[in-house]
Amino acid sequence: MHKSPTIATALTILLVSIFLISCQKDSPSQGKLYLYNWTYYTPDAIVEQFEKETGIDVIIDNFASNEEMFAKVMAGGNEGYDIIFPSSDYTSIMIKLDLLEKLDHKRIPNLKYIDPLIKEKASYDRNMDYSVPYFMGSSGIAVDTSKAPEGYARDWSIFSDERMDGRMSMLDDMREVLGAALKHLGYSGNTTNEQELSQAKDLIVTEWKPNLVKFDSESFAKSFSRGEFWVSHCYPENVFAEIPKDQWDTIDFFIPPEGGMMYIDNMVIPKGAKNNEAAHAFINFIHNPKVYAQFLDEFSFPPTTNTTASKYMKNHSFAFTSEDMSNSDNIMDLGQDLEKYNTLWQIIRYEP
């Protein structure tokens, strides 16, 4: 006899929850902005400032690699995002596949603050028709000087240093690692020449990999700060975020002189984005020099991309500078030839 109320309660809860779910499904778009961004890439303070000034609610989903983001996009998971932050190679793929909305420059007056140099590097979209650069940066090598032996090489050959066997990590990223080897050998990081690529693969497999403990693009910063890795092929902002400021002088971060792989992360609006208006407003907001300066300070980034912002920056000691990147290659899309990299990367990763 006492089963009926229970069933009724259960059904009620079910119906209410389904209702809640369906509410989430077709969320009203005025007042909400959905970002698909790298983890922690846009400081909370900036997001909150935007929310206060415009009254728009910002919701951020994260990804940790372009591939992850793109896999979701290709599976139809990009619907519902108003702004996505792909790197150059994926931006150009998305443009080729006609996945992006054309931008209305009239609604983004702050574009005038963007460094013309970066527009040159962004050969896939020089006029910013579909993408606005968010940040131009680079990976590099971080060394824990409190642990590493003296006299290590301050270039890519550090990974051949057997004294640090089992204490080094490289990014789990095919373009970054093959790119590093290519640059060390004096080739372009975007080459499709099979001999050059093969040499790079041999370098990695015979000299670097034996000394590595892990290919890690996810928790290298944590492991570095824990003393597990002494040398880490990394993105500096992640590492510095993990280590207390008073220990920053024990970290030697450098971009090897022969150059490495740099990236330009862009803001794009996917086709069918529900809140086009707010998306444009957000992009414009980011490039307000005062706001951008906050972003740079948060990560101790040098003022690439939006050089006017340097006036407002409080921080003037950077992990790296634009000059350090002068020999670096921007990661570009290689279309069909990417398969050559895939094959070699499989050998590097899967064969002991």
Partner 1 sequence: MRKLLKPREREQMLGTAYAFPMGIWFTLFFTIPLGIIVLYSFLKRGLYGGVEWEFTLDAYKQMFNPSFGRVVIRTLWISVLATLGCILIAIPCGYAMAKSKYQTVLLFLIIIPFWTNSLIRIYAWISILSTEGFVNSLLIKLGLIDQGLKLIYNNGAVVLVLIYMYLPFAILPLFTTIDKFDFSLLDAARDLGASKLEAIIKVMFPNIKSGLSTAFIFTFIPIFGAYTVPLLVGGKDSTMIGNIIVDQVSKTRNWPLASAFSMVLTFISLVGVFWMLYNGKREQMQSKKTTQQSLEQNIKKHHLIRGEK
Partner 2 sequence: MNYHTYSKKSSVSFSYTVLALTIVFLFIPLFVVVFFSFNSAKGMQWQGASLIWYEKLIFDSPSLWAAFKNSLIIALTSSLTATMLGTLAAIGIKWYRFHGKSYITTISYLPMVLPEVIIGISMLIFFSAVKIRLGMFTIFVAHTTFNLPFVFMMVSARLDEFDYSTVEAARDLGANERQTLTKVIIPSVIPAILSGFLMCITMSLEDFVITFFVSGPGSGTLPLYVYSMIRYGVSPVINALSFVMILGTMVIAFTFRRFLKTVAASS
CA 330 vs CA 118, 264, 301, 320: distances in Å: 11, 7, 17, 16
| Residue 244 in tokens | 């207390």
Question: Which residue of 8, 30, 31, 39 would you call a contact of partner 2, by CB under 8 A?
Answer: 39
Binding to partner 1 (CB under 8 A): which residues in 56-75? 65, 67-68, 70-71, 74
Binding to partner 1 (CB under 8 A): which residues in 207-266? 209, 212-215, 218-219, 223, 226-228
Q: Which residues pair with 169 in a beta bridge?
A: 214, 232
- Closer residue to partner 2, CB minimum distance, 213 or 243: 243
Q: Which residues pair with 144 in a beta bridge?
A: 251
Stretch that binds partner 2, among 72-80, 187-195, 250-258, 314-322 (CB under 8 A): 72-80
| Residue 324 in tokens | 């350090």
In angstroms, what is the minimal distance from the CB of 233 to partner 1? 13
Q: Are 215 and 345 in contact (CB under 8 A)?
A: no
From the list 341, 345, 342, the residue with the least C-alpha distance to 205 is 345
CA quadruple 218, 222, 223, 225: dihedral positive or negative?
A: positive
Angstrom distance (rounded) from CA 271 to CA 179: 32
Question: Which residue of 111, 213, 241, 338 would you call a contact of partner 2, by CB under 8 A?
Answer: 241
- Residues of this chain that interact with partner 1 (CB under 8 A) are 65, 67-68, 70-71, 74, 93, 97, 166, 174, 209, 212-215, 218-219, 223, 226-228, 335-336, 342, 346-347, 349-352
- Residues of this chain that interact with partner 2 (CB under 8 A) are 1, 3-4, 7, 10, 13-14, 17-18, 20-22, 24-25, 27, 34, 36, 39-40, 59-62, 64, 72, 74-77, 79-81, 218-219, 221-222, 225-226, 238, 241-242
